[in-house]
Structure 1
Amino acid sequence: MSAPVAPSAVRVRPASVDDARGVAEVHVQAWREAYVRQLPATVLAGLRVEPRIERWASIIEDDVTDVFVAEVDGRIVGWATAGDGRDDDRPTSRELEGIYVLAAHHGTGAGQLLLDAAIGAGDAYLWMMDDNPRAEAFYLRNGFVRDGIERDQLLADHPIHIVRLVRHAGVRQWAAVKDAETALLTADVRRDTARVDELLHPAFVEIGRSGTLWTREQIVGALAEESADSRATPQTDEWQFRQLSPELVLVTYRLTTPSRISRHSSLWDVGGTAPRLRFHQGTVVPPASAQ
């Protein structure tokens, strides 16, 4: 039995106008491979290479978007595009606009080489179709996380839901902030005065549901007096994060208990060795607008 043939080396380079057909071919084939669950079969079957060739030639030639291709034995097997960010509220100044590799070349390192060429190791963001676990796992390995921003849009005239992922120095802080915020929602931590003291900033204040201003000392005391069964740990979702400055992170989320749904905003100081909560406010959502 003969030994397996080693895969050919992947070469990544900036695209030229002559690559427009190869990029268009990968565009169509990669969509058909990647979006079987997300797009109707009729949409995928209707994709055509020819109309995309001129468009890709224009994109490559106008030099606004950086386009890179991955080649194996002289054939384009993947591409990536990046630019300064197409969104008014862009969280970083670099956007990975698209990246596709043919399924036959998954696991060869082509995707990683393309991503590195397009955005390097610096801060960046991207939009991803939701419910795309393979792609999300790849982005997670490269330091990207969801920041809670999502929206609906059309892809090939078909409605899809997309989510935003970001990568920057603050992302690691966000995970610590979420852990700390979640801890403050658990009954055991809320009754642990020493632990609450560690989590609250010396200047902490809270605006209660009635509009009352609570000081740090009042909150610590009130939490210590909660009975053991007075508060089950609630469910949370719709987390969003904003890096307001190197030292401040704003987090918002929805909280659900058996009796009510509320939306919460917290301002965390991340300038020290561990996050400390500076401000918190919760607002009960009326039943008609709870969803």
Structure 2
Amino acid sequence: MTDRSPAVEAAIENELRLLDPEVRSTPELFEKLLHPEFTEFGASGARWDRASILRVLAARPEPGGRPITTSGMRGVQLADDLVHLTFDTDSNGRLAHRSSLWRRTGDRWLLWFHQGTPFTPPEPEPEED
């Protein structure tokens, strides 16, 4: 069940902005959406904090990169200042289940925690003759 509260809608909008190639290739734009205490366990297995993810983005910007596609985005407001999103992504055939926690800080929603877990789609059922 997806909550369609203004808080969830704001978190979804910001999550989609983070996945936009222009935002991903511009550390200044990306940084504005990260909480100062941001932590991520990436689909690669790496652990990231705010400074390390911004360093990587600044070192290898990808202007005009391919968009990351999303599916099944759902959200729930857990508290007045906390939203949990879950969704799947496809980045050039690399699939991952995603989970994000967004915290309201002042008047903005900022990404506080993110985790990506790679997955392989299930094999299709064989057709019966």
Aligned residue among 252, 271, 279 for 2:113? 279
Aligned residue among 240, 252, 259 for 2:93? 259
Aligned residue among 194, 207, 215 for 2:41? 207
How far 1:257 sits from its partner (Å)?
Answer: 3.0
Conserved? CA contact 2:24–2:62, under 8 Å: no
Partner of 1:226: 61
Larger RCO (alpha carbons 8 Å, 6+ apart)? 2
How far 1:259 sits from its partner (Å)?
Answer: 1.6
Normalized per residue, the structure richer in strand is 2
Q: Which runs of 5+ in 2 are unaligned?
A: 125-129
Partner of 2:15: 181
Q: After superposition, where does 1:3-14 map in structure 2 within 5 Å?
A: none
Shift in CA distance, 235/206, structure 1 to aligned 2, threshold 3 Å = same
How far 1:218 sits from its partner (Å)?
Answer: 0.7
- Indicate the RMSD between aligned Cα atoms, in angstroms: 2.0
- In the alignment, does 2:6 pair up with 1:190? no
How far 1:216 sits from its partner (Å)?
Answer: 0.6
Shift in CA distance, 240/228, structure 1 to aligned 2, threshold 3 Å = same
Shift in CA distance, 289/249, structure 1 to aligned 2, threshold 3 Å = farther
One-letter identity of the residue aligned with 2:67: T
Shift in CA distance, 285/192, structure 1 to aligned 2, threshold 3 Å = same
Q: Secondary structure at the match of 2:92?
A: coil
Rounded to whole Å, the distance in 1 between the matches of 2:94 and 2:123 is 12
Partner of 2:81: 247
How far 1:288 sits from its partner (Å)?
Answer: 2.5
One-letter identity of the residue aligned with 1:226: P
Q: Which runs of 5+ in 1 are unaligned?
A: 1-145, 148-165
Conserved? CA contact 1:237–1:253, under 8 Å: yes
Conserved? CA contact 2:39–2:50, under 8 Å: yes
Q: Secondary structure at the match of 1:175?
A: helix
Q: State TM-score, norm by structure 1.
A: 0.39
Runs of 4+ that moved beyond 6 A:
none
Structure having the higher Rg: 1
How far 1:210 sits from its partner (Å)?
Answer: 3.5
Conserved? CA contact 1:250–1:265, under 8 Å: yes
Rounded to whole Å, the distance in 1 between the matches of 2:63 and 2:115 is 24
Conserved? CA contact 1:248–1:271, under 8 Å: no
